[in-house]
């Protein structure tokens, strides 16, 4: 029963289509001609692509325990790729590209028009795309009516990755460098003051704890009154200032170790703040394309024509149904 009803409905649709074949034919013909004209009026765009890999790290480590390979040779992973896409989509990079190539003029956007920045941003996003590939790299795609301009924009974006990221990094690393520099200078000054105090005690005759124990033996072995007096004075001075000298000596060793660590930290901060690092591996630079990317005229004609036929078919069904309702009433 259900199959008979389905066959009946199919036959009715076929009959309905046959009755309206002329209307549907002319609709498809007109839509096809119109879509051909529209597709011919659309600007021809050429696509250029550049492919880059993010680096695993954005610094050179001064820590002897770190893996040097991981610092300079490893390709970045998913997280690094996502961070790189954020850099590519950032306003500092976008604004530099717009200014460098005067894209407002290229995209024919009037600076005095309402919504200028919104229109410019939309035009930029429709012509320039960034996508992470399944291999973990970043594909930079640029569309433009000029194949050479598309390639130039893509290659400039690749160059600006390092510039923009280094600028962002320096906003944090320069203050960190200044703090490390100030801390190292404070440690050096404290060490100089400590050394001066120890030198003053040494001039008074204060010696280290290991040598100090030999003073009593030297006193006992003294032959003359002059020697005995000398060693007595030395013992008194060491008894009076020995503890201070020992404390300063221990403090100096501690500060030497701390200053060594601070010097490593200072060198790291200096490198991060001053050096301009490379943050990507360029796998493929963009070249001017000799084949258009858009518009796909055949697809436009087929889609537009098919859509027009579907809409006309639905409209005829609605008209036929309305007629049936009116006759029934």
Task: Tell me what the pLDDT averaged over the chain comes to.
Answer: 81
Indicate whether 101 belongs to any domain: no
| 3-state SS track over the chain | CHHHHHHHHHHHHHHHHHHCHHHHHHHHHHHHHHHHHHHHHCCCEEEEEEEEEEECCCCCCCCCCCCHHHHHCCECCHHHHHHHHHHHCCHHHHHHHHHHHCHHHHCCCCCCCCCHHHHHHHHHHHHEEEEECCCCCEEEEEEECCHHHHHHHHHHHHHHHHHHHHHHHHHHHHHHHHHHHHHHHHHHHHHHHHHHHHHHHHHHCCCCHHHHCHHHHHHHHCCCHHHHHHHHHHHHHHHHHHHHHHHHHHHHHHHHHHHHHHHHHHHHHHHHHHCCCCCEEEEECCCCCCCEEECCHHHHHHHHHHHHHHHHHHHHHHHHHHHHHHHHC
Phi, psi dihedrals of residue 32, rounded to the nearest 5°: -65, -45
Residue 69 pLDDT > 50, yes or no?
no
Task: Among 178-182, 205-209, 224-228, name the most confident range.
Answer: 178-182
What is the model's pLDDT at position 289?
A: 83
What is the model's pLDDT at position 74?
A: 66
* Token pair listed for 81: 């790729």
Q: Which residue has the higher pLDDT, 38 or 67?
A: 38
Count Cα neighbours of 19 within 13 Å in the Cβ-side half-sphere: 10
For range 216-223, the mean pLDDT:
73
Indicate whether 185 belongs to any domain: yes
What is the model's pLDDT at position 61?
A: 60
What is the model's pLDDT at position 249?
A: 86
Residue 227 and residue 215: Cα distance in Å, rounded?
11
Residue 282 and residue 84: Cα distance in Å, rounded?
13
Residue 1 pLDDT > 80, yes or no?
no
Model pTM? 0.67
Indicate whether 115 belongs to any domain: no
For range 250-270, the mean pLDDT:
83
Q: For the chain, how many structural domains are there in total?
A: 1
- Reading phi first (left if > 0) and then psi (alpha if -120 to 50, else beta), residue 147 is in alpha
For range 134-147, the mean pLDDT:
89
Are the CB atoms for 30 and 295 separated by under 8 Å?
no
Indicate whether 49 belongs to any domain: no
Provide the residue range defining the domain that includes 268. Answer: 176-274
* Residue 78 burial (CB count, 10 A): 10
For range 206-234, the mean pLDDT:
77
Indicate whether 281 belongs to any domain: no
For range 45-63, the mean pLDDT:
78
pLDDT band at 60 (very low <50, low <70, confident <90, very high): low
What's the pLDDT tens digit per position in 268-285?
777 777 777 777 888 888
Indicate whether 193 belongs to any domain: yes
Indicate whether 12 belongs to any domain: no
For range 32-61, the mean pLDDT:
78
Residue 80 pLDDT > 80, yes or no?
yes
What is the model's pLDDT at position 68?
A: 45
Residue 305 and residue 25: Cα distance in Å, rounded?
11
What is the model's pLDDT at position 75?
A: 66
Indicate whether 139 belongs to any domain: no
Q: Which residue has the higher pLDDT, 160 or 26?
A: 160
What is the model's pLDDT at position 97?
A: 93
For range 216-230, the mean pLDDT:
75
Are the CB atoms for 236 and 216 separated by under 8 Å?
no
Query: What percentage of the chain carries pLDDT values higher than 70?
Result: 87
In this structure, of 150-159, 304-313, 317-326, the range with the lowest mean pLDDT score is 317-326
Q: Which residue has the higher pLDDT, 116 or 301?
A: 116
What is the model's pLDDT at position 11?
A: 72
What's the pLDDT tens digit per position in 143-192?
988 899 999 999 999 999 988 888 888 888 888 888 888 888 888 898 88
Residue 88 pLDDT > 70, yes or no?
yes
Burial class (CB in 10 A: 0-12, 13-18, 19+), 3: exposed
Task: Among 14-23, 67-76, 173-182, name the most confident range.
Answer: 173-182
For range 4-32, the mean pLDDT:
72
Q: Which residue has the tokens 């005759």?
A: 205
* Residue 281 burial (CB count, 10 A): 15
Q: Which residue has the higher pLDDT, 88 or 320?
A: 88
């Amino acid at each position: 029963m259900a199959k008979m009803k389905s066959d009946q409905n199919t036959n009715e649709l076929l009959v309905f289509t046959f009755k309206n074949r002329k209307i549907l034919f002319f609709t498809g013909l007109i839509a096809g001609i119109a879509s051909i004209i529209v597709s011919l009026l659309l600007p021809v765009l050429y696509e250029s692509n550049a492919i880059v890999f993010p680096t695993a790290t954005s610094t050179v480590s001064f820590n002897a325990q770190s893996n040097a390979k991981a610092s300079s040779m490893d390709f970045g992973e998913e997280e690094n790729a996502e961070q790189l896409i954020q850099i590519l989509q950032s306003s500092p990079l976008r604004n530099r590209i717009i200014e460098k190539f005067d894209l407002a003029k290229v995209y024919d956007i009037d600076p005095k028009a309402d919504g200028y920045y919104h229109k410019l941003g939309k035009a930029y996003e429709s012509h320039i795309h960034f996508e992470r590939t399944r291999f973990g790299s970043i594909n930079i795609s640029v569309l433009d009516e000029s194949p050479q301009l598309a390639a130039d924009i893509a290659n400039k974006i690749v160059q600006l990755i390092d510039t923009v990221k280094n600028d962002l990094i320096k906003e944090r690393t320069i203050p960190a460098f200044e703090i490390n520099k100030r801390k190292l200078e404070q440690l050096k000054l404290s060490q100089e003051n400590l050394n001066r105090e120890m030198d003053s005690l040494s001039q008074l005759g204060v010696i280290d704890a290991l040598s100090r124990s030999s003073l009593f033996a030297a006193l006992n072995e003294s032959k003359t009154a002059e020697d005995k007096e000398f060693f007595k004075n030395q013992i008194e001075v060491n008894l009076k200032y020995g503890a201070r000298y020992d404390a300063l000596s221990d403090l100096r060793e501690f500060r030497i170790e701390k200053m060594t660590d601070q010097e490593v930290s200072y060198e790291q901060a200096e490198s991060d703040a001053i050096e301009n690092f490379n943050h990507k591996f360029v796998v493929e630079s963009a070249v001017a394309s000799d084949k258009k990317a858009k518009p796909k005229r055949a697809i436009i004609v087929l889609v537009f024509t098919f859509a027009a036929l579907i809409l006309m078919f639905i409209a005829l069904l609605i008209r036929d149904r309305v007629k049936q309702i009116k006759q029934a009433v």
